[in-house]
Amino acid sequence: MSSGEAIQIAAVGVGETEYVRRGAAPLAELVVEACSRALTDAGLSPSDVDGIVTEANSMPQQAPADMVQTALGIKERRFTAHSGVWGAGIVGAAQMARLAIQSGQADVVLTYFGVDFGSSPGGPYALHAVDPLKASLEMPVGWYGQPLYFASIAQRYAYEYGLRPEQLGELAIAARKHAALTPGALRPQALDLEGYLASPMIAEPLRAADCCLVNDGAAAVVYTSLERARDLAKDPVVVAGVGTASAPISQSSYFTQHRNYLGTPATLSSQKAFGEAGLSIDEVDFAEIYDCFTITDIMQIEDLGFCGKGEGAAFVEGGRTGPGGAMPINTHGGSLAHSYLLGANHVVEAVRQLRHERGSGQVAKAEVGLVAGLGVPDHTTLLLTVDR
């Protein structure tokens, strides 16, 4: 590598806990377990780690870096950073890890994320209940809860472009098929169109099958330089490009005052990632897209560039996103059928796909994977490739 050439980094280890609907272990304990498994997967020890990056919203309070360092036995933590919000943050942790490694601030960076929504009071609903704006202005009139927020977006999408239940059902059915091929997935039971249409309506037009799981669990990813990665236990997965972007609005106001109601910052984050990687959307072999609800997939499919605006619902028809489809999406089952970890498990799955470790769930000849993380108002697009 020449002195003027930027250091490339790679994912070298991934780990995750068992995912359970409701568990007894504290969240911090789950995080430490996932981190330990990621280091073992990489063939590294805690003493090799000198950097930690997490998302910025929950992990600094629920599993802070100093606690994780102490529990694992990391000797020296030279670099600590927190990336963006929720799903965008944990996917975007790769960007912070790269900056640390390229600048010489760290050699091995550990990233992690966990949730205990299944066992904590209020689950994901509690995230917004503590927001003074929502508590004062939105909740008293019944405007509350993530299914309602995204159902409103789906209704607007249907008004603007047309949206049939069968199109949403395509994504839910494909997620179940992927989950059936993934050990540890929480919702691997088969689903057909009849079963989808019989699924209880939660917030019209979103049925239960359109909604993500609620569970406990944690996942971790280890990054280091590509040069060092080539000497480690597993084939390195190269961070080819990563882009982050944010809508110009607060999280509190996003679902009531966001003017680009049917858009996401994926339009910007994807441009950055593809430009940096020197790749085109046609070169992507599979995608792991943040999917708290089926409509979220459709919006990002459009904004990432797989199709034009208003064409996403038609794009997913015909089993395109399922196993063996032209564009497999959320190949582990995603948040709808594998586990809801706000995208951390999506990164783990992408790494395993590019190592060709997924057995019957493997995407044939996979060389380029895309991971999209949404955490309103933020978004991250991460492009991963095999070591070429």
pLDDT tens per residue, range 130-169 = 889 888 988 899 888 999 999 999 999 999 999 999 999 9
> What's the pLDDT score for residue 104?
97
Residue 3 lies in a domain: no
> What's the pLDDT score for residue 1?
43
249-307, pLDDT tens digit by residue?
998 999 989 999 999 999 999 999 999 999 999 999 999 999 999 999 999 999 999 99
Peptide bond into 188 cis (omega under 30): no
> What's the pLDDT score for residue 124?
87
- Give how many domains the chain has, as a whole number: 1
Stated pTM of the model: 0.97
Check pLDDT > 90 for residue 4: no
Catalytic residue flag (residue 290):
yes
Residue 236 lies in a domain: yes
CA 375 to chain centre: 9
> What's the pLDDT score for residue 88?
97
Looking at the chain, the whole-number percentage of residues with pLDDT higher than 90 is: 91
Summary count for the chain: helices (H), strands (E): 16, 11
Catalytic residue flag (residue 340):
yes
What is the residue range of 80's domain?
Answer: 9-120+212-386
Q: Please report where in the chains the tokens 């955490």 appear, as a residue.
A: 375
**Dihedral angle sign, alpha carbons of residues 125, 128, 133, 135:** positive
Residue 177 lies in a domain: no
CATH code of residue 108: 3.40.47.10
Residue 242 lies in a domain: yes
Q: Which of 19, 112, 157, 290 is catalytic?
A: 290
Q: Which two tokens stand for residue 167?
A: 């199109």
